[in-house]
C-alpha cells in the first residue's frame, strides 16, 4: 500500500568521514556553500505522522536537532558499517516512559552483528543505566510499516552486502558498488532514485559518479540524487557536468510525494 503523502528528508549525504573532513583544508572542506557540508548518510521517511529513520548515522543527534525531529517510530538499517550505526545511542530520547521499545529492522547478517556489537543494549546481563530500548527484527522480504509498503533491495557493497529500501515511488540505495539483476526488477517505474556515488575515482565498495549515473540510466528513474559524497565533490562546480535528470543530494533536502 502507498499512503497519500510520503515525505523524505535527506538527513545526511556525506561519506564516512563527514565533510568537512577534520584537518583537511581542501576547497570543498573550506567551502561556505552549506551543500558542501555533509553529515553521515541517513534518510527520514515520514508517513501519516510516523517517522521512519534509515540508519542511525554517527551524526544522528545533530541531524535530529537540525530538522527538529520530535519522534522516531522505527529504524531500518542498510548495513552495520560504523558511519551508519554509531548514532544508535541517540535514539534514547524517543523512548517514552511506559511505551513499547522502538522497533528496528535489519537483514540477517546485520541483525546478528547488531546483537553482538551492542551487548549493552541487547545483552541480558550487561544492560544497565540509561540505554536505548529497541526491539530487533530480521527482515528478508517486503513488509508493511504504518501503512507503508517497504521493499528491501539487496545490494553488493564491495565484498559485503547492504540493503536498499523502496517506499512507493522512491528508492534509497546507499553504500553499494553493484546492483544484482534480481534487485533491478524491484526498481522499475521509480520517480526518485537516491544512490551512492562516492567520488569521481573508482572505489572497491562504492559506485563512483560515472558508475552511479550508468546504474541510474539502467534503472530509468525520472530523477536521480547522488549521495554518500566525498570531499572531491563541489556541489555547485560539479553539478554543471551532470546529466539533466541527475543531481547531487544535500543535507536537509526534502522530497514530497
Per CB under 5 A, residues contacting Zn ion are 21, 24, 26, 29, 81, 83, 175, 231
Q: With 0-12 CB in 10 A as exposed, 13-18 as middle and 19+ as buried, what is 23?
A: exposed
Q: Which of residues 162 and 224 has its CB atom nearest to Zn ion in the complex?
A: 162
Least distance (Å) between residue 235 CB and Zn ion: 13
Q: Which of residues 26 and 210 has its CB atom nearest to Zn ion in the complex?
A: 26
Least distance (Å) between residue 146 CB and Zn ion: 26
Q: Which of residues 175 and 251 has its CB atom nearest to Zn ion in the complex?
A: 175
DSSP 34-64: GGG-BPBPEEEEEETTEEEEE---TTHHHHH
Alpha carbon distance 174, 108 (integer Å): 18
Asked if 1 contacts 215 with a C-beta cutoff of 8 angstroms, the reply is no
Least distance (Å) between residue 176 CB and Zn ion: 9
Least distance (Å) between residue 11 CB and Zn ion: 13
H or E segment at 224? strand 223-227
Contacts of residue 178, defined as CB under 8 A and 6 or more positions apart, other chains included, come to 155, 156, 207
Q: Which of residues 148 and 198 has its CB atom nearest to Zn ion in the complex?
A: 198
Amino acid at each position: 500500500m502507498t499512503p497519500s503523502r510520503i515525505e523524505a528528508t535527506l538527513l545526511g549525504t556525506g561519506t564516512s568521514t563527514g565533510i568537512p573532513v577534520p584537518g583537511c583544508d581542501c576547497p570543498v572542506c573550506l567551502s561556505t556553500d552549506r551543500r558542501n557540508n555533509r553529515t553521515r548518510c541517513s534518510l527520514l521517511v515520514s508517513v501519516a505522522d510516523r517517522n521512519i529513520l534509515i540508519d542511525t548515522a554517527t551524526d544522528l543527534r545533530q541531524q535530529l536537532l537540525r530538522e527538529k525531529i520530535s519522534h522516531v517510530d522505527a529504524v531500518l538499517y542498510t548495513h552495520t558499517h560504523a558511519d551508519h550505526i554509531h548514532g544508535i545511542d541517540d535514539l534514547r530520547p524517543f523512548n517514552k516512559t511506559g511505551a513499547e521499545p522502538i522497533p528496528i529492522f535489519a537483514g540477517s547478517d546485520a541483525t546478528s552483528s547488531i546483537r553482538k556489537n551492542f551487548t549493552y543494549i541487547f545483552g541480558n546481563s550487561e544492560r544497565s543505566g540509561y540505554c536505548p530500548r529497541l526491539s530487533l527484527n530480521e527482515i528478508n522480504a517486503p513488509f508493511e510499516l504504518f501503512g507503508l509498503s517497504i521493499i528491501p533491495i539487496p545490494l553488493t557493497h564491495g565484498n559485503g552486502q547492504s540493503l536498499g529500501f523502496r517506499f512507493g515511488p522512491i528508492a534509497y540505495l546507499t553504500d553499494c558498488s553493484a546492483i544484482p539483476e534480481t534487485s533491478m526488477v524491484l526498481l522499475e517505474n521509480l520517480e526518485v532514485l537516491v544512490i551512492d556515488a562516492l567520488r569521481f575515482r573508482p572505489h572497491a565498495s562504492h559506485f563512483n559518479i560515472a558508475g552511479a549515473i550508468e546504474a541510474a540510466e539502467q534503472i530509468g528513474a525520472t530523477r536521480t540524487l547522488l549521495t554518500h559524497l566525498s570531499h572531491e565533490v563541489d556541489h555547485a562546480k560539479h553539478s554543471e557536468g551532470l546529466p539533466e535528470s541527475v543531481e547531487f543530494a544535500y543535507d536537509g533536502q526534502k522530497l514530497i510525494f
